[in-house]
């Protein structure tokens, strides 16, 4: 691990609980530092319930948990006012499991967007960063396409490129998406891995279920697996949320 | 007996609540211009210009066609009603009052509802369902500033431009179309129209366009942003947005015209000051 590991990026102080379709889940107290890769997995997955979206949204400051505190870069994000939170959010790269790209913009325009809002760069510098990012993710040839013109794996890769263009401290992935397909022909996971090994981000992957191959791949590349547990079967009738 | 009173009260409170929410969205859409002034002005201006293009430029053709029809029809009917040369001044005043002050804002408003209000509410609704608005939030980009404010600013600019186009085409084009039917010389017609336009007319025209534009685009954005998760909510949002916009358009125009009719002395006073 890099020397930057000492600096905590994400901290779940009192543990975390959240509910999905009537089930309550608990994540143990956890600290994720820069250069660290954590894959969060349910210990006993429910075949018909996917807690990934809820958990990743909580970590990405998009919705509060039932219980527990989420600290990002030392700030309790669910006690922050809107404007300071808005200024903190560029430090988080959120990779949607599906969708998430703006459908009326091309790949290039999607990646330019966070950079043009928060980058504070001149047009020339912006252009250079975009070119480098497109090249890094092998998106240069399809930069002019809109999301509906691409397959799911490519959309995911473009979403990952957009999430990483601002060099966020924390990267949250909602599921492992097209992991097998991307590893076979894409560049998304390998870029993420390269950046992880270089200690550039704290990476948290939220998984819906156990995935032996992915687990093995994570552990082989100095990642860690943290399991979260289902603490109650029903707090409300399914479908009531 | 009291049941219908309860229902009436409930409907009134619901309407009040709805109007307050619209004003809340309007307030936020102006506030973010100031609070996010240090964030990406280039992209913001681009969004405003895109809205001007989608709403204004792409609507020019239908507006021009309708304006020609309205202008021609008004001139023929006006001449028929008040005579030719003897009534040239009255014709100018009639066209100014009816076409520029009343018909142009109504018809362009109708075109905007058909083209843009429906499109905006559908677009924002789909963006909600596809989690694109959530994606903006997590990037630290205010969805109000990115999606609502440019649509209101660009929409009002486009509506103003369309009204100017409508006025020019309906009077100029209408006159050209009916040249063979009426015997009013062009210079007399032009002079009668220009002399009939008072500063008060310009004030009324501006207030109408500003109010109509803001109202229509806030309603469109509100309904689009109100969609939660299901794609089945999108057509409902579009339908509500277009219906509410239509009601707003007529109520606002009528209320403003009626107010000015009652208080025409105030208009004259404003005109005098200008």
CA distance B155 to chain A (A): 18
Q: 3-state class of A31 per DSSP?
A: strand
pLDDT of residue B272: 54
Chain B's closest residue to A99, CA to CA, is B130
Encode pLDDT of B195-247 as tens digits: 878 887 788 889 999 999 999 999 999 999 999 889 999 999 999 999 999 99
Query: Which among A87, A103, A123 has the least Cβ separation from residue B140?
Result: A87
Confidence label for B194 from pLDDT (cuts 50, 70 and 90):
confident
Query: With 70 as the cut, is the pLDDT of residue B38 above it?
Result: yes
Domain boundaries, chain B: 40-273
The Cβ of residue B166 has, within 10 Å, a number of other Cβ atoms equal to 26
* Best residue in B138, B146, B234 for a mutation probing chain A (most A CBs within 10 Å): B138
Q: Give the integer Cα–Cα distance in Å for A61 and A90.
A: 11
Query: Nearest-CA neighbor of B225 among B25, B16, B15, B14?
Result: B25
Interface size A-B, in CB pairs within 8 Å, comes to 64
Q: Where are the beta strands (DSSP E) in chain A?
A: 8-20, 23-27, 30-33, 37-42, 67-72, 75-76, 92-95, 170-174, 202-206, 224-232
Q: Give the integer Cα–Cα distance in Å for A87 and A95.
A: 19
Give yes or no for a contact between B219 and B243, defined as CB atoms under 8 angstroms apart: no
The tally of CA atoms less than 13 A away on the side-chain side of residue B205 is: 24
pLDDT of residue B76: 78
Chain A's closest residue to B37, CA to CA, is A117
pLDDT of residue B99: 82
Give yes or no for a contact between B190 and B91, defined as CB atoms under 8 angstroms apart: no
Q: Do A94 and B135 touch (CB under 8 A)?
A: yes
Chain B's closest residue to A83, CA to CA, is B35
pLDDT of residue B182: 65
Name the B residues in 7-66 with CB < 8 Å from any A CB. 35, 39-40, 42-43
Q: Give the integer Cα–Cα distance in Å for B248 and B8.
A: 20
Q: Give the integer Cα–Cα distance in Å for B220 and B212.
A: 12
Which residues of chain B have a CB within 8 Å of the CB of A87? 140
Average pLDDT, chain B: 87
CA distance A220 to chain B (A): 30
pLDDT of residue B193: 78
Which residues of chain B have a CB within 8 Å of the CB of A162? 139
Q: Give the integer Cα–Cα distance in Å for B183 and A196.
A: 82
* Best residue in A21, A86, A104, A156 for a mutation probing chain B (most B CBs within 10 Å): A86
Q: Do B131 and A61 touch (CB under 8 A)?
A: no
Q: Which of A120-124, B100-104, B180-184, B237-241 has the lowest mean pLDDT?
A: B180-184
Which residues of chain A have a CB within 8 Å of the CB of B140? 86-90, 114, 117-118
Encode pLDDT of B7-20 as tens digits: 999 999 999 999 99
pLDDT of residue A182: 67
The Cβ of residue B76 has, within 10 Å, a number of other Cβ atoms equal to 15
Give yes or no for a contact between B153 and B265, defined as CB atoms under 8 angstroms apart: no
* Structural domains in chain A plus CATH codes: 3-98+169-232 (3.40.50.300)
pLDDT of residue B264: 61
- pLDDT average, residue stretch A86-105: 90
Q: Do B40 and A118 touch (CB under 8 A)?
A: yes
CA distance B122 to chain A (A): 13
For every residue of B58-116, DSSP letters joined together read GGHHHHHHHHHHHHHHHHHHHHHHH-SGGGHHHHHHHHIIIIIIIIHHHHHHHHHIIII
Encode pLDDT of A222-235 as tens digits: 889 999 988 766 54
Confidence label for A190 from pLDDT (cuts 50, 70 and 90):
confident
The tally of CA atoms less than 13 A away on the side-chain side of residue B158 is: 31
Query: Which among B40, B123, B136 has the least Cβ separation from residue A116?
Result: B40
CA distance A128 to chain B (A): 17
Range list of H helices, A141-206: 152-164, 179-185, 188-197
Name the A residues in 3-62 with CB < 8 Å from any B CB. 57, 60-62
B3 close contact with A: CB closer than 8 A: no
Q: Do B139 and A90 touch (CB under 8 A)?
A: yes
Q: Give the integer Cα–Cα distance in Å for B230 and A91.
A: 30
Query: With 70 as the cut, is the pLDDT of residue A99 above it?
Result: no
Query: With 70 as the cut, is the pLDDT of residue B274 above it?
Result: no
Q: Which residue has the higher pLDDT, A104 or A209?
A: A104
pLDDT of residue B40: 80
Q: Would you tell me the crossing angle of helices B199-226 and B104-112 to the nearest 10 degrees?
A: 20
Average pLDDT, chain A: 86
Place of tokens 């009326």: A104
Q: Give the integer Cα–Cα distance in Å for B1 and A164.
A: 64
Name the B residues in 124-153 with CB < 8 Å from any A CB. 126-127, 130-132, 134-142
- pLDDT average, residue stretch B185-202: 79
Residues B112, B118, B120, B122, Cα dihedral to 10°? -170
Give yes or no for a contact between A7 and A33, defined as CB atoms under 8 angstroms apart: yes
Query: Nearest-CA neighbor of B72 among B172, B162, B164?
Result: B172
Which residues of chain A have a CB within 8 Å of the CB of B130? 99-100, 103
What tokens were used for A29?
């107290």
Q: Which of A18-27, A184-193, B24-33, B251-260 has the lowest mean pLDDT?
A: A184-193
Encode pLDDT of B80-114 as tens digits: 766 554 556 677 777 777 788 889 999 999 999 99
Give yes or no for a contact between A189 and A182, defined as CB atoms under 8 angstroms apart: yes
Which residues of chain B have a CB within 8 Å of the CB of A61? 138
A101 close contact with B: CB closer than 8 A: yes
Q: 3-state class of B198 per DSSP?
A: coil
Which residues of chain B have a CB within 8 Å of the CB of A113? 43, 139, 141
Which residues of chain B have a CB within 8 Å of the CB of A92? 138
Give yes or no for a contact between A208 and A175, defined as CB atoms under 8 angstroms apart: yes
Give yes or no for a contact between A88 and A75, defined as CB atoms under 8 angstroms apart: yes
């Amino acid at each position: 691990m890099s020397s930057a590991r000492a600096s905590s990026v994400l901290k779940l102080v009192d543990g975390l609980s959240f509910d999905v379709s009537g089930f309550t889940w608990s994540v143990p107290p956890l600290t994720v530092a820069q250069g660290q890769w954590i894959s969060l997995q349910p210990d006993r997955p429910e075949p018909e319930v996917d807690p990934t979206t809820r958990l990743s949204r909580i970590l990405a400051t998009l919705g509060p948990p039932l219980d527990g505190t989420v600290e990002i870069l030392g700030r309790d994000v669910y006690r922050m006012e809107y404007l300071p939170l808005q200024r903190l959010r560029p430090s988080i790269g959120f990779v949607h499991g599906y969708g998430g790209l703006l459908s009326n913009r091309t790949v290039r325009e999607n990646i330019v967007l966070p950079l043009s809002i928060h980058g504070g760069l001149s047009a020339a510098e912006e252009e250079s960063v975009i070119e480098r990012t497109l090249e890094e993710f092998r998106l240069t040839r399809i930069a002019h396409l809109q999301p509906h013109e691409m397959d799911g794996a490519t959309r995911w890769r473009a979403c990952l490129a957009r999430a990483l263009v601002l060099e966020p401290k924390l990267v949250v992935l909602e599921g492992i998406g097209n992991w097998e397909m991307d590893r076979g022909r894409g560049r998304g996971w390998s870029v993420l891995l390269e950046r992880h090994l270089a200690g550039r981000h704290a990476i948290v992957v939220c998984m819906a279920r156990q995935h032996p191959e992915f687990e093995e791949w994570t552990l082989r590349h100095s990642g860690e697996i943290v399991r979260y547990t289902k603490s109650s079967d029903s707090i409300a009738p399914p479908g009531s949320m | 007996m009291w049941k219908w009173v309860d229902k009436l009260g409930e409907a009134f409170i619901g309407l009040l609540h709805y109007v307050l929410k619209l004003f809340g969205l309007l307030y936020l859409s102006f506030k973010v211009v100031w609070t996010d002034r240090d964030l990406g002005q280039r992209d913001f201006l681009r969004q405003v210009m895109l809205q001007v293009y989608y709403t204004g430029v792409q609507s020019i053709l239908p507006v021009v066609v309708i304006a020609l029809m309205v202008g021609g029809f008004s001139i023929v009917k006006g001449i028929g009603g008040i005579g030719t040369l003897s009534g040239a001044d009255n014709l100018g005043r009639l066209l100014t009052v009816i076409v520029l002050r009343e018909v142009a804002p109504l018809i362009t408003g109708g075109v905007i509802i058909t083209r843009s209000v429906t499109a905006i509410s559908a677009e924002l609704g789909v963006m909600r369902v596809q989690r694109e608005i959530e994606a903006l939030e997590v990037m630290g980009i205010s969805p109000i500033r990115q999606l609502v404010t440019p649509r209101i600013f660009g929409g009002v600019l486009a509506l103003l431009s369309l009204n100017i186009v409508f006025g020019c085409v309906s009077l100029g084009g209408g006159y050209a179309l009916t040249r063979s039917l009426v015997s009013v010389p062009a210079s007399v017609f032009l002079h009668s129209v220009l002399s009939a336009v008072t500063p008060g007319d310009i004030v009324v025209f501006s207030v109408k366009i500003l109010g109509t534009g803001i109202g229509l685009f806030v309603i469109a954005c509100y309904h689009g942003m109100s969609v939660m998760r299901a794609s089945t909510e999108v057509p409902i949002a579009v339908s509500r947005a277009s219906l509410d916009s239509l009601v707003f358009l007529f109520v606002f125009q009528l209320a403003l015209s009626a107010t000015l009719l009652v208080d025409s002395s105030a208009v004259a006073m404003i005109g005098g000051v200008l």
